[in-house]
Amino acid sequence: MSARDEDNGDIAVIGLGRFGCHLAGALARLGHQVLAVDHDAAQVQRWSASLDRVVQADATEEEALRQLGIGDFRRVVVAIGASVEASVLTVLALTEVGVPQIWARATSRKHAKILASVGAHHVVFPEAETGERVAHLIVSRMLDFMEFGDDFAIAKVPVPPPLVGHRLGELALQERYGVMVVGAKPAGEPFRYAEPGTVLGPGSILVVEGGIAQVQQFATLR
């Protein structure tokens, strides 16, 4: 395997459906060199103007991956969603060429188990994760929400009315509500790390962390 350093940011994205093309574009905007691969010539043509390196190839074939130099990449994302068979065969081929970090998109729990069993190191559920996040935003006052694991979340919420005018240190939020305020944005000012002396003024936005249920409850305080 060539000595590509992980820090050089080179990443291959296989599959240029909606998820794959947005992922490749986001990685490029973050400063990474991205190789995008799809078996469909029309998709390759469509995204060739937007992405630096777009190639047509059958990623389920080990030899095709070797010809593309995929074995030199430390990180490869299998973004295929339309065909479970193609995504599984692609992950299998990537393990054969020795890719050390294989990320794969799953469309179901069963699909995820198969991907992990054939060599995927990280499995993601973009549709499910987005659906969960949007659901939390719809039914609460939260402005943003991110869940980590089974029972931990970080959320951005407007300061609850009962807390306006108080200093964080006098509120004992962890003891009373099971959450910790890690950042605060007073109206018209940038975000800053929260301290015991931080005053929660009207219109402030807070970044809070804690158990999922506790964060949800905190966001509903009136």
pLDDT-derived band at 149, boundaries 50, 70, 90: low
CB atoms within 10 A of CB 201: 14
Helix 109-117 / helix 84-97 crossing angle, nearest 10 deg: 20
- Tell me which H or E stretch contains 102: strand 101-105
For residue 169 the two structure tokens come to 């240190």
DSSP 8-state class, residue 31: T
**More confident call, 55 vs 31:** 55
Task: Phi first, then psi: give them for residue 177, nearest 5 degrees.
Answer: -125, -10
Q: Is the pLDDT of residue 5 over 50?
A: no
Which letter does DSSP use for residue 159 in this model? P
Q: Calculate mean pLDDT across residues 123-136.
A: 80
What per-residue confidence (pLDDT) applies to 158? 94
What topology does CATH give the domain 129-219? Alpha-Beta Plaits (3.30.70)
Residue 4 has pLDDT above 60, yes or no: no
CATH of 6-124, one of 3.40.718.10, 3.40.50.720, 3.20.20.70, 3.90.1200.10: 3.40.50.720
Q: What confidence category does residue 150 fall into, taking pLDDT thresholds of 50, 70 and 90?
A: low
C-alpha to C-alpha distance for 116 and 95, rounded to whole angstroms:
11
Q: Is the pTM of this model over 0.75?
A: no
Residue 47 has pLDDT above 80, yes or no: yes
Write out pLDDT tens, residues 190-222.
999 999 999 999 999 999 999 988 998 999 888
Question: pLDDT averaged over the chain?
Answer: 89
Residue 7 confidence (pLDDT) above 80: no
Ranges in the chain annotated CATH 3.40.50.720: 6-124
> DSSP characters for 171-216?
T-HHHHHSEEEEEEE-TTS--EE--TT-B--TT-EEEEEE-HHHHH
- From the list 13, 24, 113, the residue with the least C-alpha distance to 70 is 13
Specify the pLDDT at position 131.
74
Q: Say whether pLDDT at 91 is over 60.
A: yes
